[in-house]
Chain A
Amino acid sequence: GIQVEQSPPDLILQEGANSTLRCNFSDSVNNLQWFHQNPWGQLINLFYIPSGTKQNGRLSATTVATERYSLLYISSSQTTDSGVYFCAVLNTGNQFYFGTGTSLTVIP
């Protein structure tokens, strides 16, 4: 299967700070998604982004498929942004391969 590596594994931010999360993957993909697992365990789909750049409020994501990486930007972080951010990729099959996540803690 495809290897997915995320960095950093842990991140602590002061409220209002910005951050960049990175996802590297080992093979070409047809689909890449970023998910947020909140402290209650819900897994929320943030972006469907196999290539290019998208923005949604304070969050944006960029995928450079030819170089096999994706970045998730969080600006003006809030305590509600805390949780684990997962990158997941899909190639020719129908199963997503997940990274081990970045655990984000935003402190007030």
Chain B
Amino acid sequence: GAGVSQSPRYKVTKRGQDVALRCDPISGHVSLYWYRQALGQGPEFLTYFNYEAQQDKSGLPNDRFSAERPEGSISTLTIQRTEQRDSAMYRCASSPGQGGYGYTFGSGTRLTVV
């Protein structure tokens, strides 16, 4: 597609529910990244993929968070048993390759856990 598309745009969920956030990167972009942005802060890295391989998941805060990109295109970030502290903007980005050039962010998913 023309840009990085994320869905849903907004998600409100009850504490304890699982949520799945979707990212559709720019067509042909090899690398895909997930970031989390708390209110008043800059985005913080969660994980990234080259093609379908998860290269780095050091930023995932705990084992309730997981991500996949099974066919090297669309990616899903899943949060299990959500907690209020998970409330944040979740941003996806993609790039043609490594090194950060051509990094493009999606509009994000605003997650609110009540």
Within 8 A of B (CB), among A19-73: 30-31, 33, 35, 40-43, 45, 48
The listed residue (B56, B104, B105) touching A93 by CB distance below 8 A is: B56
Interface size on B, residues (CB 8 A): 25
The answer to whether the Cβ of B27 comes within 8 Å of any Cβ in the partner chain is: no
Interface size on A, residues (CB 8 A): 23
Q: Tell me the bound Cα distance from A99 to B40 in angstroms.
A: 11
Would B98 and A45 count as touching, CB distance under 8 A?
no
The listed residue (B41, B42, B55, B99) touching A30 by CB distance below 8 A is: B99
B108 contact set on A, CB distance < 8 A = 41, 43
B110 contact set on A, CB distance < 8 A = 41
Would A96 and B101 count as touching, CB distance under 8 A?
no
A93 contact set on B, CB distance < 8 A = 56
CB distance from A85 to the nearest CB of B (A): 10
Chain A residues at the B interface, C-beta cutoff of 8 Å? 4, 30-31, 33, 35, 40-43, 45, 48, 86, 88, 90, 93-101
Chain B residues at the A interface, C-beta cutoff of 8 Å? 31, 33, 35, 40-45, 48, 55-56, 59, 89, 91, 98-101, 103-105, 107-108, 110
User: Could you jot down 10 A-B contacts, CB within 8 Å?
Assistant: A41-B89, A45-B105, A86-B43, A94-B55, A95-B48, A95-B59, A96-B43, A97-B45, A100-B40, A100-B41
